[in-house]
């Protein structure tokens, strides 16, 4: 569950004019629309399943800090509902980056601070301390686990990309090539996307997807652990309630519980029950995004590369100001969504679905204008502090 804090159509002429960066009106509208179509009914629906199958149904959630921040401002009634859901013993809360950023690849200190802040927020809001980590967009490489291990995490969830498996099964528990204490869950890409993206695709040769058909695929997929990971917005937002997605979800959950070959479990429980099948060597980063399962949809063109380099470079100067407002602004601009909007890869269908901007070029121009304005504010803050420090009292 994640919503970025979207920025405004910030033009060149707004630079230096003390204009706000973030579009509160748009953010409120998007959050309330998604809450009404998805969050509210899907949370209620999940609670019904948890109460109906108290011994058998288990589910885990990853909730970004930026979503919770917007809930507090624009839809505070959603937080108690999330708390009720998270309080159920059959629900596990996962760790992630607070702002849903790519900081792991650009600034290790910022990454660790984000993860720590997210964990503290989960404890504060839900009373649960995450022990399993899900990086932004399931991003992963060999150097992630040592950092997570130092922070007390026991496992990580990433994408079951074929290029890291080398014909090994996806439905197994893996270990880190450098630290076998850290265990790796792999998302079953095919079965996850059958629901997450193809459920309403009438061009798909398996359309329509019926629960019995899907359950057969699950039972025949082999291995020991099947990880289905998808956006919560699948329930009611990406696929409307009229599509039959909730009924499909109900029947599939019931079918898994009835199956003699499958049962639900939480990730932390699976760690205690399963042995490592093999180790994974992931030299090049993987993600769950698009067909290439890499970072190219976030940093594959010159616009994205320039924007990413500038925002993380600017972070050094922002932190020196010790201005809570400037630091908070900088952090909110780290969300991976901002760079996704700048992607020119593929046909752009999914980008256009998520992006509030007319084109990747508009997203880039507005973002860079904001960074230039933020840079001015940082320099003004530095000048002000130098003046204060330079004053000598008699």
Q: Mean pLDDT throughout 81-96? A: 98
pLDDT at 74 over 70: yes
- Say if pTM beats, i.e. exceeds, 0.95: no
* pLDDT tens, position by position, 130-180: 999 999 999 999 999 989 999 999 999 999 999 999 999 999 999 998 877
What's the rounded Cα separation, in Å, for the pair 254 and 251?
5
pLDDT digits (tens, 9 = 90+) for 222-237: 999 999 999 999 999 9
Q: What is the pLDDT of residue 389?
A: 54
What confidence tier does 354 reach under pLDDT thresholds 50, 70, 90? Answer: confident
pLDDT score at 177:
87
Whole-number pLDDT of residue 392: 44
Say if residue 201 is in the same domain as residue 99: yes
Q: pLDDT-derived band of residue 382, with 50, 70 and 90 as boundaries?
A: low
CA distances from 36 to 9, 42, 80, 180, 238 (A): 26, 9, 15, 43, 13
137 is catalytic: yes
276 within some domain: yes
Q: Does residue 287 form part of some domain?
A: no
What is the rounded distance in angstroms from the CA atom of residue 330 to the CA atom of residue 335? 10
Residue 94 lies in a domain: yes
Same domain for 158 and 111:
yes
Name, in order, each residue with C-beta under 8 angstroms of 226's C-beta and a sequence gap of 6 or more: 171, 188, 191, 218, 262
Q: Specify the DSSP class assigned to residue 280.
A: E
For residue 288, being part of any structural domain is answered with no
Does the pLDDT of residue 300 top 50, yes or no?
Answer: yes
**CA 8 vs CA 32, 304, 372: distances in Å:** 18, 18, 14
Res. 383: pLDDT tops 50: no
Catalytic residue among 114, 137, 159, 233: 137
Task: Specify whether 181 is located in the same domain as 238.
Answer: yes
Residue 394 has pLDDT above 60, yes or no: no
Q: Are 196 and 230 in contact (CB under 8 A)?
A: yes
Question: Rounded to an integer, what distance in angstroms lies between the CA atom of residue 53 and that of residue 76?
Answer: 29
Q: 348 and 257: one domain?
A: no
- CATH number, domain of 192, equals 3.20.110.20
In a domain, 108, yes or no: yes
Q: How far apart are CA 173 and CA 279, in angstroms?
A: 9
What band does 380 get if pLDDT is binned at 50, 70 and 90? Answer: confident
Rg (CA), the chain: 22
Instruction: Report the C-alpha gap between 265 and 59 in whole angstroms.
Output: 8
- Same-domain check for residues 168 and 247: yes
pLDDT of residue 297: 95
SS3 for 30-77, per residue? HHHHHHHHHHHHHHHHHHHHHHHCCCCCCEEECCCHHHHHHHHHHCCC
How many residues are recorded in the chain?
394
Residue 3 counted as domain residue: no
Q: Are 96 and 134 in contact (CB under 8 A)?
A: yes
Number of domains in the chain: 2
In a shared domain, residues 42 and 125: yes
Question: Quick one: pLDDT at residue 69?
Answer: 97
H or E element, residue 202: none
Neighbours of 190 (CB within 10 A): 12
Tell me the C-alpha distance between 30 and 35, whole Å: 8
State residue 346's pLDDT score: 83
Q: Which of 240, 255, 280 is the last residue of a domain?
A: 280
> Does 291 fall in a domain?
no
Q: Which domain holds residue 220?
A: 12-280
Nearest in space to 2 (alpha carbons), one of 145, 99, 120: 99
For residues 174 and 212, state if they share a domain.
yes
363 inside domain: yes
Same domain, 262 and 314: no
Per-residue pLDDT of 92-133, as tens digits, reads 999 999 999 999 999 999 999 999 999 999 999 999 999 999
Whether residues 270 and 312 share a domain: the answer is no
What's the pLDDT score for residue 242? Answer: 96
Q: What is the 3-state secondary structure (H, E, C) of 73-117?
A: HHCCCHHHHHHHHHHCCCEEECECCCCCECHHHCCHHHHHHHHHH
Percent of the chain with pLDDT over 70: 96
pLDDT for 155 equals 96
Whether 203 and 348 share a structural domain: no
Residue percentage of the chain with pLDDT more than 90? 89
pLDDT at 349: 74
Instruction: Indicate if 256 and 338 belong to the same structural domain.
Output: no
- Do 266 and 241 have their domain in common? yes
């Amino acid at each position: 569950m994640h919503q970025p804090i979207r920025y405004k159509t910030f033009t060149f002429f707004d630079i230096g004019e003390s204009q706000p960066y973030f579009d509160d009106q748009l953010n409120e509208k998007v959050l309330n629309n998604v809450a009404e179509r998805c969050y509210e009914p899907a949370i209620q629906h999940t609670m019904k399943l948890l109460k109906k199958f108290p011994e058998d149904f288990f589910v885990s959630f990853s909730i970004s800090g930026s979503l919770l921040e917007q809930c507090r401002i624009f839809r505070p009634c959603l937080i108690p509902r999330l708390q009720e859901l998270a309080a159920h013993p059959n629900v596990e809360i996962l760790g992630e980056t607070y702002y849903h950023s790519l900081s792991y690849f650009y600034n290790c200190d910022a990454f660790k601070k984000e993860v720590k802040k997210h964990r503290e927020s989960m404890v504060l809001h839900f009373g649960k301390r995450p022990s399993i980590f899900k990086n932004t967009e399931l991003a992963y490489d060999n150097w992630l686990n040592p950092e997570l291990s130092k922070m007390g995490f026991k496992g990580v969830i990433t994408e079951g990309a074929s290029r890291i498996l080398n014909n090994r099964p996806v439905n197994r528990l893996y270990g880190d090539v450098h630290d076998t204490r850290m265990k790796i869950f792999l998302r079953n890409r095919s079965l996850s996307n059958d629901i997450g993206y193809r459920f309403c695709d009438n061009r798909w040769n398996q359309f329509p997807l019926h629960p019995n058909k899907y359950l057969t695929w699950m039972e025949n997929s082999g291995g020991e652990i099947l990880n289905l990971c998808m956006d919560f917005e699948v329930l009611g937002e990406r696929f409307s309630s009229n599509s039959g997605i909730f009924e499909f979800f109900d029947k599939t959950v019931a079918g898994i519980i009835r199956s003699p070959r499958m049962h639900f479990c939480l990730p932390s429980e699976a760690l205690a029950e399963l042995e490592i099948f093999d180790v994974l060597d992931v030299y090049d980063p993987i993600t769950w995004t698009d067909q290439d399962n890499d970072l190219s949809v976030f940093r594959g063109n010159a616009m994205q590369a320039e924007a990413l380099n500038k925002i993380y470079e600017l972070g050094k100067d922002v932190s020196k100001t010790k201005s809570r407002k400037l630091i908070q602004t900088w952090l909110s601009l780290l969300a991976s969504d901002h760079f996704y909007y700048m992607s020119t890869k593929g046909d752009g269908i999914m980008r256009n679905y998520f992006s509030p901007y007319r084109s990747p070029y508009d997203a880039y121009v507005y973002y860079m204008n904001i960074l230039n304005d933020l840079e001015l504010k940082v320099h003004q803050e530095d000048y002000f502090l130098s003046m204060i420090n330079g004053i000598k009292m008699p």
